[in-house]
Structure 1
Amino acid sequence: MFDIFYGAILIMFMRICDVTIGTFRTLLVVQGKKYAAGLAGFFEVLIWIFAMRYIVQHMDNVLNLIGYAAGFATGNVFGITLEQYFAFGYVQVNIISKHYTDKIADMLRKSRYGVTILPGEGSSGGVSILIIIIRRRDLKEVMKNVEEIDPKAFITVQHSRPYRGYIHGPRK
């Protein structure tokens, strides 16, 4: 009886590990980190092969199938959580503020971020668009600072993969 639960727990644990690594690996691929993605892929598939070998040998146990599915679901959550913790890469933040463009730009520049200001046209007339490229790990701090100045600012964030040039960032 213990072996039945042990097998399901083992499969679930292996699936948590390989799917966590797989989710993290996919995000490394998107960031262009090919060697890290390759290494992660090696361990992901190695663990998956061991899990599949065990499940195929014990396919008559329904708990193994449930452990497989539970491990897959949990691995996705862990993988995304792990990637968010490390916050690899860069993002482009676009900020449109009706009345506080200069104040936001000054604050960002004082924090040592590079800021580009572009003219734009909105439904209510001319606006300025602030564009910054920052490390993802700095996003929360930047958003907090912008929202303190203008809680109604229109902000978009998108993945950015710098091609060339210098990325400004805070120097502590």
Structure 2
Amino acid sequence: MLYTSNVLENLNNPFNMIGYCIGWGIGVYLGSRIEEYLALGYVTVQAIVSSVNFQQPMVLQMLGYGVTSWSAEGKSGERTVIQVLAKRRYEQRVINLINNMSPNAFTISYELKNFKEGLWGKSLL
């Protein structure tokens, strides 16, 4: 078994360093794949759609997602901003729903670190 101390004690042996680097890289890769598969946590998906259409947020709310929306003004006119809170495993599903309703939507998603009460104080999806 190759440990960090073995590598540091034998810096003149390139096989130790190569083996350690490969092992470290595989560990990081596998760890990130497992974390991605588990999809723990929550995300916020924000979409800017090209029309003032408040049916889209209502559809997402009826599906059980936490939705906040508001009117906005952009370079090309009026827009609707839709902000959706969902469990991370449902991120792609929410993005697909938004894109099906508004194919030209500008969509951003990001991971939530902290939140308190509101809709998430109750059990959801």
Contact kept, 8 Å, 1:88 with 1:135, in 2: the verdict is yes
Runs of 4+ residues deviating >6 angstroms: none
Hey, what does 1:144 align to over in structure 2?
96
Hey, what does 2:19 align to over in structure 1?
67
- Matching of residue 88 in structure 1 with residue 40 in structure 2: yes
Higher relative contact order (CA 8 A, sep 6+): 2
* TM-score with structure 1 setting the length: 0.61
Distance 1:108 1:88, change over 3 A: same
The whole-number CA distance in structure 1 between the counterparts of 2:9 and 2:28 is 25
Q: Percent identity?
A: 25
Equivalent pairs counted in the alignment come to: 122
Contact kept, 8 Å, 2:48 with 2:80, in 1: the verdict is yes
Hey, what does 2:64 align to over in structure 1?
112
Give the CA deviation at 1:141.
1.2
- Matching of residue 134 in structure 1 with residue 98 in structure 2: no
The AA in structure 2 aligned to 1:69 is C
Q: Alpha carbon RMSD of aligned pairs, Å? A: 2.2
| Gaps in structure 1 of 5+ consecutive residues | 1-9, 12-50
The whole-number CA distance in structure 1 between the counterparts of 2:20 and 2:26 is 10
Looking at secondary structure, tell me which structure has more helix per residue.
Answer: 1
| Gaps in structure 2 of 5+ consecutive residues | none
Give the CA deviation at 1:116.
0.8
Give the CA deviation at 1:136.
1.0
Looking at secondary structure, tell me which structure has more strand per residue.
Answer: 2
The AA in structure 2 aligned to 1:136 is R
Give the secondary structure class of the aligned counterpart of 2:103: coil
Give the CA deviation at 1:137.
1.2
The AA in structure 2 aligned to 1:102 is F
**Cα deviations across residues 50-107 of structure 1 (Å, max 9, x unaligned)?**
x123435655542221101111222221122121111222111111111374342132
Give the CA deviation at 1:159.
2.0
* TM-score with structure 2 setting the length: 0.81
